[in-house]
């Protein structure tokens, strides 16, 4: 009887489900952690740096055996440099260089040339700079760079091709107007400044269609001078390869550097920007803070700060609201200003509670910053580990961007070395500089419920 009972009990245990019944074979019953070994000190990726005859700086990293060469051309012109009423001018100018004819080549011939090389230039425009990114098979590096050089030096901006480009870009603006992700980026820009500036003016299909060719030509003359370019390269390259491929660019006269206009005044009051989408249940939130100019070192400090804030917000929301899908952020600098953004995603039902919680926590932190040196040390270590996983092109492009944005204060050392100089005090100081209570801009997109009491968190703007 007793044996039968034991058998019954044992039989009940064998009905364990979903993995709890699985047994590891004895040979696999080791602790994987016991195989951990002392980490080997990493030599960070250090981009090589050279200067062409006309002063254009080139950062590059060798990648033996890589089949492609990745190229990023950084241009010292961004949204801040677009005159009021002409949003999209930089995008149109750069795309026009690659797609609207060059020198004696018609737009069609130029396009076919790029297609034969398998090259598709991608243009992105940021606040204080813009970038053309392209890649090509290693053996096609030289001919591809000749095309890049031509696009920067002698764009012809053929009228009908420019009209087509404007139509395409305007359609894109219209199509993207309803997409939450784009709205978020767009709203961050609008939130950061008054609309009476290049930086804050919204993308507009109508304004883009109205851009005159003369304005594009003038913008190209200003922005595409060699003095405004920094190049980042990664691939199976030597210095000799780099110099040979960039010979056409090296032959151009350096020209003048762009002088950026002063930044527009920062927002004076706390606002909530709502952009509801009818679908799904996820809500994406960005809490955005404007700062004064940020140095190269500030941006490194900022990465530690974002890591710290993300950890605090994650733990806090998990403990209070239960639902948080992700937390991250970034620190960006433009000419004369900086932007610190903390982002998180949560669920529709608890979105207001979560935003309220986060803004309250930020306010509390402003009065009493809690991070000890030990915590900052741990964060620095984590960031250094993460930096180890960055791609080589990401490292070299970041160096080129840093050079463009910070000029002579640019720190050429690898970022993992710069992390060692970040102190807990610097992190606290940057937080206090950025997250001034009463001035935060809270952007909420996705499945927002407009009925929740958003007005309690700031003046509501629903674009």
178 binds another protein (CB under 8 A): no
Output the CA torsion 344→350→356→359 (10° steps).
-10
Structural element, H or E, at residue 68: strand 68-75
Q: Which of 282, 290, 343, 401 binds another protein (CB under 8 A)?
A: 282
Alpha carbon distance 135, 247 (integer Å):
18
Contact string (CB under 8 A) for another protein, positions 362-401, x = contact: --------------------x--xx-xx-xx---------
Least Å from the CB of residue 347 to another protein: 8
One DSSP character per residue, 157-225 reads: --HHHHHHHHHHHHHHHHHHTT-HHHHHHHHHHHHHS-SSSTTTPPP-HHHHHT--HHHHHHHHHHHSS
Q: Does 19 bind another protein (CB under 8 A)?
A: yes
- Residue closer to another protein by CB (options 38, 372) is 38
75: three-class secondary structure by DSSP: strand
> Contact between 25 and another protein (CB under 8 A)?
yes
45 near another protein, judged by CB under 8 A:
yes
Q: Which region among 9-17, 194-202, 206-214, 414-422 touches another protein (by CB under 8 A)? A: 9-17
Binding mask 225-254 for another protein (x = CB under 8 A): ------------------------------
Query: Which of 5, 17, 259, 455 forms a contact with another protein (CB under 8 A)?
Result: 17
**What single-letter DSSP state applies at residue 400?**
H
Minimum Å gap between C-beta 376 and another protein is: 18
Closer of 115 and 417 to another protein (Cβ): 115
Q: Residue 202: phi, psi to the nearest 5?
A: -70, 150
In the region spanning residues 202 to 221, those forming contacts with another protein, defined by CB under 8 A, are: none
Q: How far is the CB of 12 from another protein (least distance, A)?
A: 10
Residue 156 structure tokens = 């012809």
117 binds another protein (CB under 8 A): yes
Residue 374's alpha-carbon distances to 308, 370, 380, 424, 430, in angstroms, are 12, 11, 10, 9, 18
CB closer to another protein, 176 vs 423: 176
In whole angstroms, give the CA distance from residue 232 to residue 133: 9
Candidate list 85, 115, 221, 463; residue touching another protein; CB under 8 A: 115
Terminus-to-terminus CA distance in the chain, angstroms?
76
CB atoms within 10 A of CB 34: 6
Min CB(46)–another protein separation in Å: 11
DSSP string, 115-166: HHTT---EEEE-SS-EEEEEEEEGGGHHHHHHHHHHHHH-B---HHHHHHHH
User: By CB under 8 A, what part of segment 346-365 binds another protein?
Assistant: 347
Classify residue 66 by its DSSP letter: -
Tell me which of 46, 105, 137, 378 binds another protein, using CB under 8 A: 137
Q: Where are the beta strands (DSSP E) in 270-355?
A: 271-276, 282-291, 326-334, 337-347
Nearest residue (CB) to another protein, 281 versus 459: 281
Tell which one of 9, 18, 206, 253 touches another protein (CB under 8 A).
18
325 binds another protein per the rule CB under 8 A: yes
Residue 212 CB, nearest approach to another protein (Å)? 25
Among 58, 131, 132, 136, binds another protein (CB under 8 A): 136
Pick one of 1, 4, 206, 279: the residue that binds another protein (CB under 8 A). 279
In the bound state with another protein, the residue whose beta carbon lies nearer, of 53 and 113, is 113
List of residues 6+ apart from 405 with CB closer than 8 A: 128, 129, 296, 333
Min dist CB 438 to another protein, Å, is 33
- 135 near another protein, judged by CB under 8 A: yes
Using alpha carbons, select from 110, 100, 180 the residue that is nearest to residue 147.
Answer: 110
Which among 19-27, 300-308, 357-365, 370-378 is the span making contact with another protein, rule CB under 8 A? 19-27
Return the number of other C-beta atoms located less than 10 Å from residue 172's C-beta: 16
Residue 39 binding another protein, by CB under 8 A: yes
The upper half-sphere exposure of residue 182, i.e. CA atoms within 13 Å in the direction of its Cβ, equals 10
The count of other CB atoms within 10 Å of the CB of residue 430 is 24
If one asks whether residue 281 binds another protein (CB under 8 A), the answer comes out as yes
Nearer to another protein by Cβ, of 19 and 453: the residue is 19
Q: Which of residues 51-70 bind another protein (CB under 8 A)?
A: 64-68, 70
Q: Please, what sign has the CA dihedral across residues 417, 419, 422, 423?
A: negative
Give the nearest distance from C-beta 69 to another protein in angstroms.
Answer: 10
Of 321, 335, 353, 313, the closest CA to residue 435 belongs to: 313
Which residues bind to another protein, rule: CB under 8 A?
A: 13, 16-25, 27-33, 35-40, 42, 45, 64-68, 70, 112-113, 115-119, 135-140, 143, 175, 279-282, 323, 325, 347, 382, 385-386, 388-389, 391-392
């Amino acid at each position: 009887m007793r044996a039968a009972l034991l058998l019954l009990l044992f039989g009940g245990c064998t009905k364990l489900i979903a993995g709890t019944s699985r047994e590891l074979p004895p040979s696999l019953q080791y602790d994987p952690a016991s195989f951990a070994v002392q980490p080997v000190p990493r030599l960070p990726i250090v981009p090589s740096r050279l200067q062409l005859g006309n002063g254009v700086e080139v950062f590059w990293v060798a990648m033996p055996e890589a089949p492609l060469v990745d190229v990023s051309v950084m241009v010292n012109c961004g949204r801040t440099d677009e005159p009021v009423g002409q949003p999209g001018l930089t995008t149109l100018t750069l795309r026009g260089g690659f797609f609207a004819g060059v020198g004696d080549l018609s737009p069609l011939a130029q396009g076919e040339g790029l297609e034969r090389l398998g090259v598709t230039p991608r243009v992105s425009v940021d606040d204080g700079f813009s970038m053309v990114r392209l890649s090509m098979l290693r053996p096609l590096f030289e001919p591809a760079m000749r095309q890049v050089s031509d696009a920067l030096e002698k764009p012809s901006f053929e009228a009908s091709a420019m009209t087509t480009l404007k139509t395409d870009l305007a359609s894109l603006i219209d199509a993207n107007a309803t997409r939450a992700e784009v709205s978020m980026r767009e709203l961050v820009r609008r939130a950061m400044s008054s609309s009476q500036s290049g930086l804050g003016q919204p993308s507009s299909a109508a304004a883009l269609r109205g851009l005159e060719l003369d304005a594009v030509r003038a913008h190209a003359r200003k922005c595409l001078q060699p003095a405004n370019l920094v190049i980042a390269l990664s691939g199976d390259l030597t210095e000799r390869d780099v110099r040979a491929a960039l010979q056409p660019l090296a032959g151009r006269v350096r020209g003048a550097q762009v002088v950026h206009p002063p930044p527009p005044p920062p927002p004076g009051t706390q606002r909530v920007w709502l952009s509801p989408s009818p679908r799904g249940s996820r809500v994406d939130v960005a809490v955005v803070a404007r700062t004064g100019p940020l140095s190269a070192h500030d941006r490194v400090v900022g990465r530690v700060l974002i890591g710290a804030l993300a950890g605090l917000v994650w733990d806090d929301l998990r403990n209070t609201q239960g639902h948080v899908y992700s937390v991250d952020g970034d620190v960006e600098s433009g000419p004369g200003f900086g932007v610190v953004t903390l982002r998180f995603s949560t669920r529709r039902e608890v979105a207001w509670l979560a935003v309220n919680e986060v803004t309250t926590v930020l306010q509390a932190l402003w009065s009493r910053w809690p991070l000890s040196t030990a915590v900052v040390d741990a964060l620095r270590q984590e960031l250094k580990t993460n930096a180890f996983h960055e791609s080589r092109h990401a490292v070299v492009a970041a160096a080129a961007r840093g050079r463009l944005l910070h000029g002579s204060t640019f720190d050429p050392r690898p970022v993992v070395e710069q992390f060692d100089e970040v102190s807990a005090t610097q992190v606290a100081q940057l937080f206090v500089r950025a997250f001034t209570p009463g001035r935060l801009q809270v952007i909420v997109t996705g499945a927002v419920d407009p009925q929740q009491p958003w007005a309690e968190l700031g003046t509501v703007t629903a674009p």
